[in-house]
Structure 1
Amino acid sequence: MTFATKADIFTYADFNLQALCRKASTLRQGVTCTCDPGQRPSTGSFNWAIFVTFEDKVRWVFRSPRSRASRALEMDMKLLASEAATLRYLRSQSDIPVPEVFDYCASSNNETGVPFILMSEAPGWPLSKVWKSTSSPQPSLDSIHKAKILSQLGSITWKLSQLRFDKMGSLIEENGTFSVNECLSRGHMLHERYSLEISRGPFTSEAEFYDSLISALFEHAETLQLSHHCFIAPVPSHDDYPCDTQYKAAVDLWSDFVTIGGKIDTADNRLDFIVVSDALRDIMKKLLPPTTNPETFPLCHPDLSVNNIYIDDDYNITCIIDWAFASSVPESMLLTIPGLPQYRDEISPELHAPFINGFIAAIPGSPEDEPVHKYRKLIERSGVFWKLSRLLNLDSIDEYNLFATVWQCAYGPERNLSQYFLQQQRSAHYIRLYDEVQQEDQPLSKIEKDEKEYFRDDEFRKTIAKKLTLVSEWKYRYTDNVPRRLRQDMFVTSAKLWKWIQRFIEDWESSN
């Protein structure tokens, strides 16, 4: 007996391949189109993509959302339609290099059988091939070529700053007309935030926009999974360790610590993020800077990572792809120096100047004009908004230090963050809220079972994690019933702590 095997091209979805080729051929006035069923689709977190090839060697990209639960699928349909509209708007209103959209359908009710975007192939090759992360053993792109790329990104950011709308939200297209609809930004949609009952705009003021993201963070902390986000225990950063061995050991110690008591999705951790959310409402009243035009808002790419920037052999940017989650935003959010290699990675300080200079050079007129000075000051002071965006979106491994920077910018050294947190943790409001949120914690039996499976009788590691939990006063922070506290400051883990524990373990093992 023989069994038919599904072709690789259908790995992520069953669709009508013949209908796709007919559609593509029709869009090119009958030029013959083929599609290799043996190709395995490229895939990311949200979409899969294949190539169709014409007889004259031109290639197009056919991209479709990956299968999801029904409500998430509704989110994907909105994102697809908005991305197609954004690309068409950019092609018609600017010279920013983006793919050309030839056709799209935001539902499966079409001849291919799946929602799709059919667009041109990005020329060149992705920047990720040469811009290596610090943890990669391969050589990184030299500083001269990095500066050249940052200068071009500065110029592109200037062009985006001139594409302005009277509201903040994501683009839709109806009968060739573009308009701003609800906001589909990463902070409003990712990590299952699409399910939250929050305001999604469109917004008419920066205060409304940021208040909506703060609400999303608050509701996320209260009801959704927090994944790896533990406020007082940031995930170790590779940059803080001289070698992979020490870094991996630090991550193991961090994982041991958060496993004890199932720390991440407990009321203790949730309340920390809720305190942060409430504090941000007051901070934003102090933090919002003046804008060049308070009545309109610029379009922003949500993810200028090295995967989405294409270049040629001379390191000229040839295409910017992946405009899902794009929206018009506060000017303070656009005018930030991008993070590379990924949008959540803070770029090295020596690359700030090329970006700023590229932005300023793109502004028409004299460098001495008042608008030029105003833009330069806004960009130079934009670092705090880059950190704020990462914090609000939970796009980080270190929310504590992001929040500490934002706090410092708003209040300066006069107001101590550690003491503020201790005061909030002992306040009647948060103790009462803690008791409510705690009702949704996992039962102790489930937590103990998870601990047993995780440590697998490694009592030494388990003992260290328990001792560290005791020192942190993890279970006694949101209460006023403890007669004596050991700590008079806020416990936060750091690279210094993990390195000290590693040295202790090495000394212990060498003496036994």
Structure 2
Amino acid sequence: MPSDKRPPIFLYAKFDVQALCRTASSLRQDIACTCNPDQHPASGSFNWAVFLTFEDGVQWVLRSPHTNGAELSMELSSKLLESEAATMKYVQQNSDIPVPTVHLYRANAENEIGIPFILMSKASGWPLEKAWKNPESDKPVLAASLKAKVLRQLGETTYKLSQLRFSRIGSLFERDGLVPVEECLSRGHILHDRYSLEGVARGPFISEEHYIEPTCKHAEVLQLSHHCFTAPIPSREDYESHDQYLEACDLWNDFVTVGKKLDSSDNRLDYIVAAHALRELIPAWRSQLPNTDSHLFPLCHADLSVNNIYVDDDFNITCIIDWAFSTTVPEALLLTPPGLPQSRYELDKSLRLAFQDGFETAIIGDTCDQRTESIKAALELVKEGRCSWLLTRFLNFDSIDDHGLFTALWEHTYGHSKDIGSYFAERRSSPSYIELYNDVRLEDQPLEKLKKAESNYFRDDWGCQYTPFHQQRLRKTGELFVTDSKLWKWILEFKKDWGNIS
């Protein structure tokens, strides 16, 4: 009796496997290929993938966007797929950066296979994530010399990307044999529901001024998720043990639950003030940098994490994958070391220097580039790349410590000439921000609803740890009370001592 169970390959979408194999075979002089229906698709945040094998051993990848319960709409996913394919083809045709070869792509499901897809070569080597551990991982630490080797190569890759320049900021598309820059599909313009924002320019842009607008608008109307400006999420690196880290996370959850701080008007206004401050901070920072060609914008990979970097057994980079969200950017935002193992982790000084060394080596080896002044400016930008890294993380909401990022940006730009606490107090007490605050307070939950939510959350022994909610707020004037690991450690130590006394 035939089984009604669907093969694992159709976990995320039903498609015509036979049509896929026919299509792939036709693209390789009719060499036969198979696609095992019992394989479980690889899956990431936005796409899933399956593998095809030709009879001569060559493997290709079919990648398609998630559709069921996906964060992105089908329309947006199609645009991202189309742009990613065009970007990989352009990079391969105009540089020696190792990327997957795109054999065919379709941006919608109106095709023989029945789904939108990119059909491309399988990346050679293996993903760097297998060797480069996260701070929370139990994997052995990768040798510093091998990390430095990878960073030097990424510095060379960044130089090569800096030579792929366009007259506008935005995403690449393929149009009748040309590769124009169109709508900007960067993470900062798309994710966290920012694509739904009305009244936000989408590009392409001829300057960097509009780059921060999605962050400003996000602060005003969208959910802030886990982001609390004055209460950074605990980081594993700050705690001696994993258990202590988990206890600190519990304390953080308790803290932001009281008064529903995440989407409160106070938290929202903090982000609005910070986002608006960038309108002054970014030009002040740029004025301290060397002059570059402000009319040409280099191509930038959006996520150079260990998941997307493939290496061989000698840690030579063999392929860079996942070019979704890649756009052209202001040069200063490209010429910065990536965060590794993931974008939120800042590199130490030795690895930043390795990146700089690789960038300089690439310049020396490129005899075609004779723009002496541009070279000097680019080298200076690479050395000053930390501020670009901080800014990118903040604009993309790619952090568990937005206050720390903003403070570092502020101090890097202004030093001790402007006090950040005084700035926030002044802004929050100004008539325009008081009016804005009163508007956003209309979205705060009623007191009775807050009390009920807190009562449901704090049950049993935890109830005695917190005083009941009351209407008077901590932030009466605008001063910044920032929680950090010191506070959570102090509370944990106090609880321990109290337990010993009891």
Which band: TM-score by shorter chain?
A: over 0.9
Partners of 1:57 and 1:424 in 2: how far apart?
A: 64
User: In the alignment, what sits opposite 1:381?
Assistant: 384
Cα contact 1:122–1:310 (8 A) shared by 2: yes
The answer on whether the counterparts of 1:86 and 1:323 sit within 8 Å (CA) in structure 2 is yes
Is the Cα–Cα contact under 8 Å of residues 62 and 119 in structure 2 kept in the other structure? yes
Cα offset for 1:138?
1.6
For the residue of structure 2 that corresponds to 1:173, the secondary structure is coil
Asked whether the equivalents of residues 256 and 462 of structure 1 are also in contact (C-alpha less than 8 Å), the reply is: no
The one-letter amino acid paired with 1:417 is I
Q: Distance in 2 between matches of 1:53 and 1:69?
A: 28
Q: Which runs of 5+ in 1 are unaligned?
A: 481-487
* 5+ long unaligned stretches in structure 2: none
Shift of 1:511: 1.2
Mapped partners of 2:55, 2:164: distance in 1: 37
User: Is the aligned partner of 1:28 residue 2:28?
Assistant: yes
SS at match of 1:414: coil
In the alignment, is residue 261 of structure 1 matched against residue 259 of structure 2?
yes
How many residue pairs end up in the alignment? 495
1:88 Cα shift?
Answer: 0.5
Distance between the aligned counterparts of 2:117 and 2:259, measured in 1?
44
Amino acid at match of 2:494: F
* Number of the residue aligned with 2:244: 246
1-side partners of 2:291 and 2:322: how far apart?
Answer: 27
Residue of structure 1 equivalent to 2:488: 498
Q: CA deviation at 1:204?
A: 0.8
1:189-204 → structure 2 map (5 Å cutoff): 189-197=190-198, 198-204=200-206
**Does the 8 Å CA contact 1:72/1:194 hold for their aligned counterparts?**
no
* 1:442-463 superposed Cα distances (whole Å, 9 cap, x missing partner): 3444433432333233345641
> In the alignment, which residue of structure 1 is the partner of 2:410?
407
Cα distance in 1 for partners of 2:464, 2:277 equals: 36
Describe the SS at the equivalent of 2:181.
strand
The structural deviation recorded for 1:290 is 3.5
Q: Is the 8 A contact 1:336 1:385 kept in 2?
A: yes
Which letter maps to 2:218? Answer: H
Q: Percent identity?
A: 52
Contact 2:290–2:377 (CA<8 Å) still a contact in 1?
no
Give the Å deviation of 1:96. Answer: 0.3
**What letter corresponds to residue 437 of structure 2 in structure 1?**
Y
What are the within-5 Å matches in structure 2 for residues 135-154 of structure 1? 135-154=136-155
Query: What's the CA shift for 1:476?
Result: 5.0
TM-score of the two chains, using structure 2 as the length reference:
0.94
Q: Which amino acid aligns with 1:173?
A: E
Aligned pair in 2 of structure 1 residues 511, 44: CA closer, same or farther (>3 Å)?
same
Say whether the 8 Å CA contact 2:301–2:323 is kept in structure 1: yes
Q: Which runs of 4+ in 1 moved over 6 A?
A: none
SS at match of 1:362: helix
Tell me which residue corresponds to 1:111: 112
- CA gap of 1:427–1:241, structure 2 versus 1, over 3 A, is same
Q: Which moved more, 1:72-81 or 1:411-420?
A: 411-420
Change (3 A) 1:238 1:461: farther
Q: What corresponds to 2:94 in structure 1?
A: 93
Q: Is the 8 A contact 1:108 1:115 kept in 2?
A: yes
User: In the alignment, does 2:394 pair up with 1:391?
Assistant: yes
Q: Give 1:435-474 correspondences, 5 Å limit.
A: 435-460=438-463, 462-463=465-466, 466=467
Separation in 2 of the partners of 1:7 and 1:449?
46
Assess if the C-alpha contact under 8 Å between 1:268 and 1:475 holds in 2.
no
2:387 partner letter: V
Question: Does 281-290 or 130-139 show the bigger shift?
Answer: 281-290
Q: Give the CA deviation at 1:205.
A: 1.4
Per-residue deviation, 1:371? 4.5
After superposition, where does 1:60-75 map in structure 2 within 5 Å? 60-67=60-67, 68=69, 72-75=73-76
Q: Distance in 2 between matches of 1:100 and 1:454?
A: 52
Partner of 1:103, secondary structure, is strand
Cα RMSD after superposing both structures: 2.1
**DSSP-derived class of the 2:92 partner:** helix
- 1:224-239 matches, cutoff 5 A: 224-239=222-237
Change in Cα spacing, 1:13 to 1:295, as seen in structure 2 (3 Å) is: same
**Distance across 2 between alignment mates of 1:418 and 1:285:** 21
Q: Match for residue 162 of structure 2? A: 161
Q: Distance in 2 between matches of 1:219 and 1:474?
A: 28
Q: Secondary structure at the match of 1:332?
A: helix
The 1:341/1:299 distance shift into structure 2, 3 A limit, reads same
Amino acid across the alignment from 2:168: K
In the alignment, which residue of structure 1 is the partner of 2:188?
A: 187
Alpha-carbon distance between aligned partners in 2 of 1:115 and 1:399, rounded to the nearest angstrom: 36
Give the residue type in structure 2 aligned to 1:128.
E
TM norm structure 1: 0.92
Residues 72 and 185 of structure 1: is their aligned pair in 2 closer, same or farther, counting only changes over 3 Å? Answer: same
How far off is 1:369 after superposition? 5.5
Deviations 1:231-255 (A, max 9, x none): 0000011111121122111111111
Question: Does the 8 Å contact 1:360/1:372 carry over to 2?
Answer: no
3-state DSSP of counterpart to 1:413 = coil
Aligned to 1:205: 207
Name the CA shift for 1:401/1:29 in 2 (closer, same or farther; >3 Å).
Answer: same
Question: Secondary structure of 2:180's match?
Answer: strand
In the alignment, what sits opposite 2:355?
Answer: 355
What SS does the corresponding residue of 1:442 show, helix, strand or coil?
coil
Secondary structure of the 1:255 match is: helix
CA distance in 1, matches of 2:267, 2:407: 17
Alignment-derived partner of residue 4 in structure 1:
4
The offset of 1:277, in angstroms, is 1.1
| CA distance, structure 1, for counterparts of residue 268 and residue 344 of structure 2 | 22
Q: Which moved more, 1:281-290 or 1:155-164?
A: 281-290
